[in-house]
Amino acid sequence: MAGTTIQSIEIYKLFIELKEPFIISLGPQNDVQNIIVIIRTNDGCTGYGECSPYMSINGESIDTCFIVGQYFAKVLKGKNALDIAACVEAMDKTIYGNSSIKSAFDIALHDIAAQYAGLPLYKFLGGEKNKILETDYTVSIGDPQKMAGDAIKIKEQGFPAIKVKLGESKEKDVERIKAIRRSVGSEHPLRIDANQGWQTADKAIEVLKALAEYNIEYCEEPILRSRFMELHRVSKMSPIPIMADESCGDENDAERLIQLNACHMFNIKLGKSSGIYKGLKIAQLGAKANMSMQVGGFMESRLGMTASAHLALANDHIHHCDFDTPLMFTEDPVIGGINYLDKGIIDVPDAPGLGAVIDESYLNKTEKFIM
């Protein structure tokens, strides 16, 4: 395989405050703690990647990513940047898991490969701009009246769907959805995400049945991901379609869930799949099973979300997008990348590669590793 050699790798910590805490059933997040990876080749090409580790979901932090990324720099330096499969294999052989930091390297490699091909990333992945990407916007879990007020703002801003974080008791969660429905009406699309908070199949089924009358599009990850064997029963008994999130990390998880007939949909996140290379495999499996899918994320900036948007254009079975978190930042460190248009519409760049870079002023003031 003709290629271009990885000459240097840079790893940066990126800290940005959120406008207000982002709260899910697994706990609150008050700021962004991400990793930026920059890969440079011997012929002058530069690729950018980003990950947003989530300790309670993928078991990584900004500090673990920073250290493990240095292991990857050592094994990838000098390799062919265009042989993404070999680079992914090298990372997997270096350390098990660590899907978040692997995704940052994977995105940077795809950025280089698409630039080398002279194509925007979505075209390099075999996609087309044959559909409109629209993002929902998320309401954090909390006081029902606060959540209802936030939902009204989201509707007034024109977002096509509202995603609501739940995952506590049946009484509290029903009260939350009831308050939101009173505020936004019965027809505005609502999606819910328990983030494993209902834990058991019996409790999840009980809550989902209680929420049936509120016109919910689908529910993400109702039970503990360790109980994936029970997810089939939840999906069968629930009046609301079930989307696997935390229980669907990589293509092996996706294949297992399909064999178990465990869920109706997948939520693909690059920080779970280890990046685009394996994220595409999940999408292909889901498409073969005729499943509708979503591409989401953690707390990535517009750089990481741009990679996710390119992926969303690469498979016709990806119908939903959850790309709202960059709108929660107090600062935007990205030059280029996706643009947020009216009514939640996402405009994806057509420049070769990812089409997004990080403003160097953010990188100059943070901790870094360069090899």
Give catalytic residues, as residue numbers: 165, 193, 220, 245, 269
Half-sphere exposure in the Cβ direction for 169 (13 Å, CA): 4
Alpha helices in 238-275 (DSSP H): 251-259, 270-273
Query: Contact at 8 Å (CB) between 286 and 253?
Result: no
The residue to which tokens 């992914």 are assigned: 88
Q: Which residues pair with 120 in a beta bridge?
A: 353
Distance CA 370, CA 141 (A): 39
Q: Which of 232, 233, 240, 199 minimizes the C-alpha distance to 216?
A: 240
User: Which H or E run contains 164?
Assistant: strand 162-165
Query: Hey, what are 223's tokens?
Result: 């039970």
Measured at the CA of 40, the angle between CA 36 and CA 41, to 5 degrees, comes to 155
Q: Provide φ and ψ at 60, rounded to 5°.
A: -125, 155
Distance CA 234, CA 100 (A): 28
Count of Cβ atoms closer than 10 Å to residue 116 Cβ: 20
